[in-house]
Amino acid sequence: MEPDSARPAHLSSHQRPTFLTILCILTFLSCAGGIFNSVSTYSGANFASTTSQEALEQARERVQEEGGSNAVDELLGSVSDNLTADRLRKGAIGNLVFNLLTLIGAVLMWNLRKVGFYVYVAGVLVAVVTPFLVYEGFMSALSFAGTAFISAIFVVLYALNLKYMR
């Protein structure tokens, strides 16, 4: 445990900074939505896959009718190949693990426990790796980009608050 002299004078040894409080609340809200989304995706994977496959097939037919490029047809085919019920379920499980780990990490950091940061980072690593294990090609890059960007920002912001944790 760091001595109190290493902490800013305006914070006692057990007081959470406002910025850390805001980060944790944002994470709590995000994880709640992510957990709900994961459960919904897992339970509705068959319906989502069937609906997506039908819509993509209609789009492919339309592209072919209008003389669209082979690249667009290949892209739609790639998306279709990745939106199977099995892959949607696997992605949902990865997303659930990501959200649970980051939630646990945020709860620990809320309580000023430094180990929470490392649990949070483990969750982020799950989010980064899952798309590459579940999807192929364009879909893995697409799934990865947004999560990686936002997660990297939060990791840095939480890291800035490590000095307040024990």
For residue 1, pLDDT beyond 90: no
pLDDT of residue 84: 92
d(CA 116, CA 16): 14
Q: Which residue carries 């936002």 as its tokens?
A: 150
Query: Are 117 and 162 in contact, with CB atoms under 8 Å apart?
Result: yes
Amino acid, res. 46 = N
Asked if the model's pLDDT at residue 8 lies above 50, the reply is yes
Q: How far, in Å, CA of 143 to CA of 138, rounded?
A: 9
Distance CA(124)–CA(148), nearest Å, equals 8
Q: Per-residue pLDDT for 5 more than 80? A: no
Q: How many CA atoms lie within 13 A of 153 on its CB side?
A: 8
Percent of the chain's residues with pLDDT above 70: 89
Mean pLDDT of all residues in the chain?
88
Tokens standing for 115? 């180990």
Give the model confidence (pLDDT) of 117-155 as tens digits: 999 999 999 998 998 889 887 667 777 778 888 999 999
3-class secondary-structure state, position 73 = helix
**Residues of the chain with pLDDT > 90: what percent?**
60
CA nearest neighbour of 30 among 118, 164, 124: 124
Q: What's the chain's length in residues?
A: 166
Residue-level pLDDT at 144: 74
69 or 3, greater pLDDT: 69
For 35, residues 6+ apart whose C-beta sits below 8 A from its C-beta are 96, 99, 100, 103
pLDDT confidence of residue 116: 98
What pLDDT, in 10s, does the model give residues 74-91? 777 778 888 899 999 999
What is the per-residue pLDDT for 11?
A: 52
- Is the per-residue pLDDT at 6 higher than 60? no
Full-model pTM? 0.82
